[in-house]
Amino acid sequence: MMWQLGPNAVVSASCVGPLHRAVDSVFENFRTDPARDDGSIRPLELDARMDGSGALQLFASGAPIVRAESAEALAPLLEGSLLGYAVRTRRDAAAFHAGSVVIEGRGVMMLGPKGSGKSTLSLYLAKNGANYLSDELALVRFEDAKLLAFPKSVTVKQGAFHLFPELSAEPTHQDPVRGPIRYYRARSGAVQEHPVDLIVLPRFNAELDAPRISKLSPSETALELVQQAFGGLERGAPRTLDLVGRLAMVPAIRLEFPSCGSAEEAIVGALREGR
């Protein structure tokens, strides 16, 4: 089986064993037909073998990479590794720690560090009619500053399991860093690229009664973008710097929210205000 993660990034794995299921649980939307492989890109060949202790060793193109204590730990390990592989072979776009969706024809980039709630919010919005682009890795093309879809399955951490009861039938994966997680196989939307119309810095805060919104100045937005850029400004220099300069002029808000529903209302309100 094969998955195309980018213009220069193809992954292959045998259909036998737990490996292809693990890749599929994260990257199902990237599946490609092996028959269409023209041989121009050498795929990263994945393999998983049981070692003496019953753990799985992940191999990539012949080399032992890392050990997964169980089949449940395989998908999160692959998620991180293959995200890195996809980003580091991607020459046409900057990468940010951000979720991204298109709501009412407007592109929203939700920028923030781990734990800010951007994945959960991306999923909530996608389930409520937004066009899903990505949950934690936003690719923005250097050339025209457009968001590009990277529709991997949305990672839902244990704290948000209750928000998505339909996931209760899905397997729980053991991430050695993030703890128990589940994957929501969000459908890739019809829109695959879109300009950024609003930048949101989400922060979940259960103690609030209502969302708290504050507008960001271009300088604040610029510094947030730099902090959340993969590889900082060094990656793709000087194009990333130019891109940050362009994106910093997009309307941006800091949004503390007590629930996804209230965040959605605030985002839609900000989009309408910006029209």
- Which residues, 70 to 99, sit near other proteins by CB under 8 A? 77, 80-85, 88-91
Q: Which of 218, 251, 262, 268 binds other proteins (CB under 8 A)?
A: 218
Rule CB under 8 A: say whether 235 interacts with other proteins. yes
Cβ-contact 158, 138 below 8 angstroms: no
Q: Figure out which of the listed residues 233, 258, 265, 268 binds other proteins, where binding follows CB under 8 A.
A: 233
Residue 40 DSSP one-character state: S
Q: What is the 3-state secondary structure (H, E, C) of 125-184?
A: HHHCCCEEEECCCEEEECCCCEEECCCCCEEEEHHHHHHCHHHHHCCCEEECCCEEEEEE
Q: How many residues bind other proteins (CB under 8 A)?
A: 47
CB of 245 to other proteins, least distance (A): 3
Amino acid identity at 74: L
Closest CA to 77 of 123, 34, 46, 116: 46
- Nearest distance, CB of residue 87 and other proteins, angstroms: 8
Pairing of strands 9-13, 2-6: antiparallel
Q: Does 39 bind other proteins (CB under 8 A)?
A: no
Interaction pattern, residues 95-134, with other proteins; x per rule: CB under 8 A: ----------------------------------------
User: Which residues, 138 to 177, sit near other proteins by CB under 8 A?
Assistant: 176-177
Per 3-state DSSP, what percentage of the chain is helix, strand, and coil (rounded to 5)?
Answer: 30, 35, 35
Least spacing, CB of residue 132 vs other proteins, in Å: 24
Cα distance between residue 78 and residue 230, in whole Å: 18
Residue 58 in contact with other proteins, rule: CB under 8 A: yes
Of 92 and 265, the one with the shorter C-beta distance to other proteins is 92
Distance CA 41, CA 106 (A): 34
Is 238 among the residues that bind other proteins (CB under 8 A)?
A: yes
Only one of the segments 21-29, 160-168, 203-211, 223-231 lies at the binding site for other proteins (rule: CB under 8 A); that segment is: 223-231
Exposed/middle/buried for residue 258 (C-beta within 10 Å: 0-12, 13-18, 19+): middle
Compute the least distance from the CB of residue 10 to other proteins, in Å. 11
Helix locations, 44-130, DSSP H: 74-88, 118-127
Q: Please state the closest distance from residue 177 (CB atom) to other proteins, in A.
A: 5
Query: Which residue among 7, 195, 232, 261 contacts other proteins (CB under 8 A)?
Result: 232
Distance CA 3, CA 10 (A): 6
- Binding footprint of other proteins on the chain (CB under 8 A): 42, 44, 57-58, 60-67, 77, 80-85, 88-91, 176-177, 217-219, 222-223, 226-227, 229, 231-238, 241-242, 244-245, 248-249
